[in-house]
Chains A and B, each alone.
Chain A
């Protein structure tokens, strides 16, 4: 246990080493240690789909332990979709099984000469042929591996045809509904000719204080299951957000041209539960069971079973692409899962193309004759099929939106809403200032899972937030005051959750009654014997975030990249808060206060004393040469960053 395996795919050799205890103290595990490893393994010139990129897999420090929701694990690499930090966390049972098989972290180097899958079992890593899976979907591949290995308890993380054909926004998936979705980790896995990783283990994970672990788990279990947030997520999953965003007027519509649509109210969580849900599913050691299995009769009459859907997909194909037809959405959702495409990117790309069609920027000549009218079933499915088959408009977007925008020309990139190259989600958060700030500063590009201050939507009294965050946060979502504190608090909490393998749905990210840093601290102590104060643990979150920031700065990014889409500066046109928009001056002032709170300079670059306090001086050393030639470098960096992100 506590082992890091370095796998050279070209020579098929494996070296293992112990994860040093001091690295654990600095970065815990999961996303934390992955970020550290990635920073040192690649540089600003590494080609994301070349053999020099590394694919890192990391289980959280608590993953696989008898703790509530000890489930998450992370894939990390340089992203082929955005050209910078790629990182994605996923749940299910895979991370836990990898630990039982005797590994905590995997580093996949180079490229296998032919398609293989890795089988991790009881301290060994086996290379096995994967060519026979060529005709299979992602789901069928997982089942075939379970059958081939003759053990139904084998857990598999695989890529589908999308990843094998190097679609730059392909994902890695496990079971029917667990994805490491964003930033194209499936394409990196495909570029390494690794089509799946299977794990099965009977090992023991050492627990420092078993009695304490049992006690802490019981207490946290009670806390989680008695909270209000728990009831919503365990019944509806993420679909609960559909109803909120619509009623409060921030569902993004028609590629964020509208903040409300007048589509029929079919896309409601209760409608889904009534008509399509057949079972609920849970991740390892989690009482929440936020995932659904559904069955739907498709247009051609076939009955199809699928896993999901999540809010991002339903809102993404729904209000964003202009349909309220569940059958279309579920068909698109299942198709993406079977092909291994990230549904958030898929919805954003489709909505973008539909707006380009509406504006006349693209025509039938670009799309292989496929009309891309809003809400059209054939258009939605056609875009996805063309992507996997790499023809028509799909051949362009398979290479990422930046490539597609360049190939299309005619100002197409102006219609794509993104932060740092990663598309924003369907909901339109321009009226929530901490969330807008989080979108701008998020280290992997636009993301709701590392920087969204979800609590902003609940209009919490200042007394509550002062106790929680240490600063009174105005209950008015549209206020700018003190929102930098809310944003930093969320970012640190999310970084910690990802490093520990904890699920954000069981944390204060979602609801004040759920688990926070104090609870994380208790669990870490009984599980590993590493003792932290709450402040020290928050500092680890800060360190992880600043480390990721250093990665971005090394890529040539700075304040200019902490920007939200231009559409956010236009006012909302509909609903109870019509007229709301992001105002440039208070937003820039908020960004200044955020940098100051983080200890970064006005360009968003971590200051020397911050790096010293976070023990990141070595990693920040590259800044020194750049600081001296600040002006020269700023210009060069802009150019380089441009070249990088538009490669």
Chain B
């Protein structure tokens, strides 16, 4: 399985990844609809906060999603948030995520979908602060949320 990995010390804060993300997902150019976000609490801080889904091997939001809008693809391991299945907008996933990976953007929450394995942000990152790495996904990683409850 592949996941997005961040080397914070290499990030220069240019946010070209945000732009590339918006462009690759189509529509008008609203940077607020980027699924990766670069921030800085204070202007004199060293390094930037990179808020994006890392495809954690154990994903707490997957356990708490009450509607099944958040699912994990068994073949690729990629987490997908389907806005159509998320009528409530309860934000339980955003609260459960340790990495602030769920972003408000227009109509609902947005989550990185890894661009079918070839992320636009990785391509845009000149300093290679963003790259893909391999990880092992166990059964626990498939979550014990809505899908698991339903199959019981």
Contact = CB atoms under 8 A, between A and B. Distances in A.
A205 B14 contact: no
Given A202-B32, A210-B29, A282 B12 contact: yes
Contact of B28 (A64, A205, A284): A205
B127 interface: yes
A340 to B, nearest CB: 14
A66 B19 contact: yes
Interface string A301-326: 00001010000000000000000000
B43 A204 contact: no
Contacts of A217: 23
Contacts of A210: 23, 26-29
Interface stretch (A53-61, A164-172, A285-293, A379-387): A285-293
A66 B123 CA distance: 14
A282 to B, nearest CB: 4
A476 B63 CA distance: 71
Given A143-B42, A210-B26, A289-B127, A100 B20 contact: no
A221 to B, nearest CB: 8
B15 A280 contact: no
A586 to B, nearest CB: 45
Name, among A175, A213, A283, A287, the residue most crowded by chain B CB atoms within 10 Å (CB to CB). Answer: A287
A248 B24 CA distance: 47
A579 interface: no
B46 A293 contact: yes
A124 interface: no
A307 B40 CA distance: 15
A207 interface: yes
A307 B29 CA distance: 30
Interface string B35-65: 0010111111011010000000000000000
Nearest to B14: A282
A281 B13 contact: yes
Nearest to B24: A214
Given A143-B43, A153-B39, A293-B46, A204 B14 contact: no
A289 B12 contact: yes
A205 B28 CA distance: 7
B14 A286 contact: yes
Nearest to A289: B12
B22 interface: yes
B24 to A, nearest CB: 8
B31 interface: yes
A280 B20 CA distance: 21
A635 interface: no
A139 interface: yes
A334 to B, nearest CB: 11
B30 interface: yes
Nearest to B38: A153
A96 B22 CA distance: 15
Interface residues of A, number: 41
A111 interface: no
A363 interface: no
A364 interface: no
B135 interface: no
A513 interface: no
B39 A278 contact: no
A139 B43 CA distance: 7
Name, among B23, B39, B105, the residue most crowded by chain A CB atoms within 10 Å (CB to CB). Answer: B23
B46 A142 contact: no
B36 to A, nearest CB: 13
Nearest to A278: B46
A146 interface: yes
Given A278-B46, A305-B44, A207 B13 contact: no
Nearest to B106: A202
A211 to B, nearest CB: 9
B43 A206 contact: no
Nearest to A213: B23
Contacts of A279: 9, 12, 46-47
Nearest to A279: B46
A452 B95 CA distance: 53
Contacts of A153: 37, 39
Contacts of B28: 204-207, 210
Contacts of A203: 30, 32
Contacts of B146: none
Contacts of A213: 23, 29
Given A176-B44, A225-B126, A206 B29 contact: yes
A93 interface: yes
A175 B48 CA distance: 13
Contacts of B27: 210
Nearest to B125: A287
A142 B43 contact: yes
Contacts of B22: 66
Contact of B12 (A139, A176, A214, A280): A280
B16 interface: yes
B33 to A, nearest CB: 8
Given A139-B44, A282-B12, A282-B13, 20 more contacts: A65-B29, A66-B20, A66-B22, A66-B23, A66-B29, A139-B43, A143-B43, A143-B44, A146-B42, A176-B44, A204-B28, A210-B29, A214-B23, A279-B12, A279-B47, A280-B127, A285-B16, A287-B14, A287-B127, A307-B44
Interface of A: 64-66, 93, 96, 100, 139, 142-143, 146, 152-153, 175-176, 201-207, 210, 213-214, 217, 221, 225, 278-287, 289, 293, 305, 307
23 contacts: A66-B29, A146-B43, A152-B39, A152-B41, A153-B39, A201-B32, A202-B31, A202-B105, A202-B106, A203-B30, A203-B32, A204-B30, A205-B30, A206-B29, A207-B29, A213-B23, A221-B124, A287-B14, A287-B127, A289-B12, A289-B127, A293-B46, A307-B44
